[in-house]
Chains A and B, each alone.
Chain A
Amino acid sequence: MGMAKDNQFHVLAVDDSIIDRMLIERLLKTSSFQVTAVDSATKALKFLGLVEDVASEIHQDVDVNLIITDYCMPGMTGYDLLRKVKESKSFKDIPVVIMSSENVPSRINRCLEEGAEEFFLKPVQQSDVNKLKPHLLKSRVKEEQEQPINN
């Protein structure tokens, strides 16, 4: 995997609302995350290099440490995106966070069961974004542990 810029965490944000994209990007940047924001799950998959159910085993130039996605989007939903990420060999360990304007317990449970780390109710607050770092640090530690030991 390519190195993240300046050891910063890189977050991929997915939301079809231009206002919410602007908001989440600002919130994430305030917490010193590097951000790529896209307006659909399809674009997110393209960005990751995951196209049409075929997980690319080619070396990824893209290094994403966390995906935060809206649940309700036209076409592919955030839930669909979550499933695709968790089913992929290359990306299943990337923490995924779901955002939704609707507080539907069954929806929340379904996402958490599918492997989402967190479920944020919109509008997303700074306090929600503050919960992300532990997930990212945990992933980074795990990544480092899996590196082959060099002599």
Chain B
Amino acid sequence: MDGKVQLQKQLFDYTASLFQEGFLDNQFNQLEQLQDESNPDFVVEVVTLFFDDAERILNELTTSLGQEKIDFKRLDAHVHQLKGSSSSIGAQRVHEACIPFRNFCTEQNVEGCLKSLQQVKHEYSLVKSKLETLFKMEEELLASSLADLKVV
């Protein structure tokens, strides 16, 4: 029982820190509220979709910025997509990093775009790592709860 309480506290504190540090915003809470017994994996599913989508976009952005002739409109469209999806799952810092990126696209500023891409990639890898840690902790807590049920 003690171990479980420890895990609960760890999970609680870790989650709180993610909000405090701005990695996640209230939209993430909204996702959690949509999870229930009929959809027990909703948050993990949506976030996983986000990871796949974000990685696809980041690869596209990297390729696009490596071209001889850069299509800034297309670039902007991709950044807009990433800005939207990160906002939809509550990945606040990724969302915010997309804002100056869009401005640089409009200005057709290559230097600015390259710097922004670095920043977005950085924020993305941070939030991905943190969310993966969060999900792992939840799994451990669940496993611990299930173990309790087996105790006679």
What is A's interface to B at a CB cutoff of 8 Å?
17-20, 22-23, 26-27, 30, 72, 74, 101, 122-123, 125-126
Closest CB in chain B relative to A26 CB, distance in Å: 5
Any A CB within 8 A of the CB of B118: no
Do residues B45 and A122 form an inter-chain contact, with CB atoms below 8 A?
no
- The answer to whether residues A123 and B42 also contact, given A22-B49, A30-B34, A101-B83 and a CB cut-off of 8 A, is no
Looking at the assembled complex, report how far the CB atom of B7 sits from the nearest CB atom of chain A, in whole angstroms. Answer: 27
Known A-B contacts A26-B42, A101-B87, A123-B88; A18 and B33 likewise in contact (beta carbons under 8 Å): no
* Residues of chain B lying within 8 A (CB to CB) of residue A19: 46, 49-50, 53, 85, 88-89
Q: Which of A23, A74, A126 has the most CB of B within 10 A?
A: A23
Report yes or no: B80 in contact with A72, Cβ–Cβ below 8 A. Answer: yes
Q: Whole-angstrom distance between the alpha carbons of A142 and B92 in the complex?
A: 43
Chain B residues closer than 8 Å to A74, beta-carbon distance? 77
A30–B34 alpha-carbon span in the complex (Å):
8
Q: What is the size, in residues, of chain B's interface with A at 8 Å between Cβ atoms?
A: 22
Contact residues in B for A23 (Cβ distance below 8 Å)? 31, 34, 46, 88
Q: Return the chain B residue nearest A24 by Cβ.
A: B88
Residues in B neighbouring A72, C-beta threshold 8 A: 80
B96 smallest CB distance to A (angstroms): 14
In the complex, residue of chain B having the shortest beta-carbon distance to the beta carbon of A23: B88
- Contact mask B50-62 → A, CB, 8 Å, 1/0? 1001000000000
A20 proximity list for chain B (CB < 8 A): 84-85, 88
Decide if A126 touches B30 in the complex (CB within 8 Å).
yes
Query: In this complex, what residue of B is CB-closest to A16?
Result: B81
Since A19-B88, A23-B31 are in contact, a sample of 18 more A-B pairs with Cβ atoms closer than 8 Å, ordered by chain A residue number, is: A17-B81, A17-B85, A18-B49, A18-B53, A19-B46, A19-B53, A19-B89, A20-B84, A20-B85, A22-B45, A23-B34, A23-B88, A27-B34, A30-B34, A74-B77, A101-B80, A101-B83, A101-B84
Complex CA–CA separation, A63 to B33 (angstroms): 30
Among B34, B80, B83, the most chain A Cβ lie within 10 Å of the Cβ of: B34
Minimum C-beta distance from A11 to chain B (A)? 16
10 smallest beta-carbon distances between A and B, as pairs: A19-B85, A101-B84, A123-B88, A26-B34, A123-B27, A19-B88, A19-B49, A19-B50, A20-B88, A22-B46
Is B39 in the interface zone, CB < 8 Å from A?
A: yes
A27 to B88, CA, bound (A): 12
Residues of the B chain whose Cβ atoms lie less than 8 Å from the Cβ of A30? 34
Given the complex, which residues of B lie within 8 Å of A123, measured CB to CB? 27, 30, 87-88, 90
Cα distance, A123 to B26, chains bound together (Å): 10
Given A27-B34, A30-B34, A17:B80 Cβ within 8 A: no
